[in-house]
Amino acid sequence: MKEALRAHRQMLRENGLKRVEVLVPHPDAELVRRVAKALTTKDPTSDVLRATIEKAVPVRNRLSFKEWLATPEEDDANA
């Protein structure tokens, strides 16, 4: 079984795909599956979808845990 899994993951890499696991609300699961499937194709529809998502969902710069700890706390009175 390990060899089959290794071969499958190698095939994904060769095809430029990356396996990801996400948690979404139950009603959104099918939508996320359809979006993921649409993004795997290389056609104008996937390009439009990708551009739309890029506009709608801004990139957030994530802090590492160490960086987060170093950020000053906001004063509730000034917030």
Q: What is the pLDDT of residues 8-21, one digit of tens each?
A: 989 999 998 988 99
Chain centroid, CA 34 distance in Å: 14
Pick the closest to residue 22 from 31, 13, 32, 12 (CA basis). Answer: 32
The pTM (predicted TM-score) of the whole model is 0.63
The whole-angstrom separation of Cα 78 and Cα 50 is: 39
pLDDT digits (tens, 9 = 90+) for 11-58: 999 998 988 999 999 999 999 999 999 999 888 999 999 999 999 998
Contact (Cβ atoms closer than 8 angstroms) between residue 8 and residue 19: no
Residue written as tokens 């390009």?
A: 47
Contact (Cβ atoms closer than 8 angstroms) between residue 39 and residue 52: no
Domain ranges of the chain: 21-69
